[in-house]
């Protein structure tokens, strides 16, 4: 739904949910971030908001060509529903609807991540993305020239949005004082890293996530680049507009 359609009660519920899981935030910062966004995917259960993800869509010229990117903002799902794919399904459908509106232009997902749960969407639902889990020199698959292009696109978007806060050598965005980070009781990356290689990769790539450092990531929304589950929901949004 458009952000402008959110009522006061919706905003109150969303901030209350966000504040449950994120530290170093306050209502003004939350509202400022929300005001920048175009739309929000809202998950309700018996009229109560149990999850949401905000996003905007922008156009930028990179290497002389116009591209569109969907930028994810605040995203949270009540812990009682972790493992339930309802928010992911709705989010991929929303991305498909965006792609339907922009037509033949390429659409990318640009996201800055400080949690391993969000990062794991990339390897679980996309075939090619950056930062790449397996660098080409260590991969058993053929060379992936697309990865270098994805890095250029990611770096151009991140530089335009965050300037000197972004380091293209690491892909990290460091604001100094935290702009909001997962509360320690919900982070759990070190424990998860012992069981999940994607979480372990995230911890190596963003070792200071606990103080709000973000990892800039990029993947293309394209049926050929989406694994089966993501492709199904994306196609639903694409066909429905």
pLDDT in tens, 70-79: 999 888 989 8
pLDDT tops 70 at residue 189 = no
Residue 181 pLDDT level (bands cut at 50, 70, 90): low
Q: Model's pTM, two decimal places?
A: 0.88
Can you tell me the mean pLDDT for 225-229? 93
Rounded to the nearest 10 degrees, what angle do helices 27-36 and 8-21 cross at? 120
- Where is 158: in which H helix or E strand? helix 145-162
pLDDT digits over 71-101, tens only? 998 889 898 888 888 999 999 999 999 999 9
* pLDDT for position 141: 47
Instruction: Give the count of beta carbons closer than 10 Å to the beta carbon of residue 174.
Output: 15
Highest mean pLDDT among 22-31, 56-65, 193-202: 56-65
Task: Give the C-alpha separation, 71 to 28, whole Å.
Answer: 20
Residue whose C-alpha is closest to residue 98's, from 86, 110, 114, 82: 110
């Amino acid at each position: 739904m458009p952000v402008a359609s959110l009522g006061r009660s919706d905003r109150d519920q969303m901030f209350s949910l966000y504040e449950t899981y994120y530290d170093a935030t306050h209502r003004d910062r939350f509202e400022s971030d929300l005001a920048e966004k175009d739309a929000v995917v809202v998950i309700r259960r018996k009229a109560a908001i149990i999850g949401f993800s905000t996003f905007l869509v922008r156009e930028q010229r990179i290497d002389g060509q116009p591209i569109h990117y969907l930028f994810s903002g605040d995203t949270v799902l009540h812990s009682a529903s972790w493992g339930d794919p309802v928010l992911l399904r709705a989010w991929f459908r929303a991305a498909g609807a965006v792609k339907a509106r922009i037509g033949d232009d390429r659409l990318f997902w640009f996201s800055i991540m400080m949690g391993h749960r969000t990062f794991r969407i990339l390897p679980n639902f996309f075939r090619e993305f950056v930062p790449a889990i397996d660098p080409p020199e260590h991969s058993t698959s053929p060379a992936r020239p697309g990865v270098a292009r994805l890095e250029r696109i990611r770096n151009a978007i991140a530089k335009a949005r965050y300037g000197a806060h972004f380091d293209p050598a690491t892909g990290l965005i460091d604001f100094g004082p935290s702009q909001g980070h997962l509360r320690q009781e919900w982070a759990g990356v070190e424990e998860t890293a012992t069981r999940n290689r994607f979480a372990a990769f995230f911890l190596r790539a963003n070792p200071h996530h606990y103080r709000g450092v973000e990892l800039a990531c990029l993947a293309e929304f394209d049926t050929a680049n989406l694994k089966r589950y993501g492709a199904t929901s994306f196609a639903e949004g694409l066909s429905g507009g």
